[in-house]
Amino acid sequence: MRGEADERLARVVLSRIGEPGDPRLTDLVHELGAATVLGGLLDQAAAGELAADLRDRLASVDPGRELESAARRGLRFVVPGDDEWPEGLDALALAPHLHERGGVPVGLWCRGPLRVDEAVARSVAVVGSRSATTYGAAVATDIAAVLAREDWTVVSGAAFGIDQAAHRGSLAARGPTVAVLACGADRAYPTAHRAMIDYVADVGLVVSEAAPGAAPTRIRFLARNRLIAALARGTVVVEAAVRSGALNTASWTQGLGRVVMGVPGPVTSAPSAGVHQMVRARDALLVTCGEEVLEAVSPAGSFALAEPRAPEAARDRLTARERQVLDAVPLVRGADARSVGRTAGLSLARTQEALLVLHRAGLVEHGLGRWRVRDGDHELPGLDAPAGPDEPSSLR
């Protein structure tokens, strides 16, 4: 037990003095353990770039006091080996590092009633542009709401635009949501989203790799993106320009071998250009609604989405020969069966047989020995094309 306590305290120290996602630190801790790495840093004789960078910060860190202070602010520190540690994060040890960020986090600072492992057991990341259009925000909200109604957790970064829409969609549907921050989990960034982030902390979960009180920086956003990807089964990108940070999250998702999905926008829309490029390069699966997202991330066969089809009409049940005869029946002035057969290129017997079927289906009507298409069934294909010499006289 003492060894576990020492390991936890060592991780608290490393979380405070190290930069989130610094692979020099995360890879060493994953390989050797936090206590061993911290012991090496404390050794004044230790050499190396990492020791030189971090040693000056060591003297000011009291891990016990850090944990007590965090607890007063409603934070807990979750580390590998804890019951609620999400196994999906361990895959970061094998994922290719991007932008010199990567590795399994030293620990997660968490605020909220949900257990991390349970919250992300069935989860999808929904990310995208901070400068979202009305269209993009509406789509993100709808997708998140569909996921929430099916008890899937929505993971996002609490930023302006698509992130905000995703969290709000999940919350509106009373579903679980996880906000992953680039600053301390006790802070709110952007500050305009403090009320939303606090509400997520009340009913869902706010997590961060950065120590409490830490400010957001560009490099911490890049590190945060890998956590969003690793905590979810797949990532949906709703609007992303060609240099969007959301594409970084998509790259992490792809590196982890998980499904990347993209929502298309207007082809003239710059905020969707990055998404379109992913789909064009076959790096992302095109999705247009929450149901398609569920089909992509659910175990094979557990959520089958029916192909969209128009309501079946009487014409849909006709054979090819019956359609051929129907096309030959006049729209206005009736024709006898022989004339219809001649236009259709069929014998009288076959024509009469088909006409009886069409009559029973209510598609044609008969009077005084003549046949014509029944009123209301005039929507035949190609009526704007020039009439040919073999078409019924009513079409010429």
Q: Return the pLDDT at 191.
A: 96
Q: Return the pLDDT at 121.
A: 97
Q: Which helix (H) or strand (E) holds 262?
A: strand 259-263
Q: Return the pLDDT at 42.
A: 81
Q: Return the pLDDT at 384.
A: 33
Q: What is the mean pLDDT of each run of 10 residues along the chain (396 residues)?
A: 83 95 94 92 72 79 94 97 96 89 96 97 97 97 97 97 98 97 97 97 98 95 97 97 92 96 96 96 96 92 70 84 94 92 94 94 91 70 35 34
What 316-325 contacts at long range (C-beta under 8 Å, 24+ apart), as own/partner pairs, is 317/361, 318/357, 318/358, 318/361, 321/346, 321/350, 321/354, 322/354, 322/357, 322/358, 324/354, 325/351, 325/354, 325/355, 325/358
Cβ-based neighbour number of residue 249 at 10 Å: 30
Q: Return the pLDDT at 134.
A: 97
What dotted CATH number matches 73-297?
3.40.50.450
Cβ-based neighbour number of residue 330 at 10 Å: 20
Q: Return the pLDDT at 72.
A: 96
> In the CATH hierarchy, which top-level class contains the domain 314-395?
mainly alpha
Which residues fall within 8 angstroms of residue 147, CB to CB, at 6 or more apart? 124, 126, 153, 154, 170, 175, 290, 293, 294
**Where in the sequence of the chain do the CATH 3.40.50.450 domains occur?**
73-297
Q: Return the pLDDT at 315.
A: 82
Q: Return the pLDDT at 304.
A: 67
Q: Return the pLDDT at 391.
A: 36
Q: Return the pLDDT at 388.
A: 36
Q: Return the pLDDT at 313.
A: 78
**Where in the sequence of the chain do the CATH 1.10.10.10 domains occur?**
314-395
Q: What's the whole-model pTM score?
A: 0.83
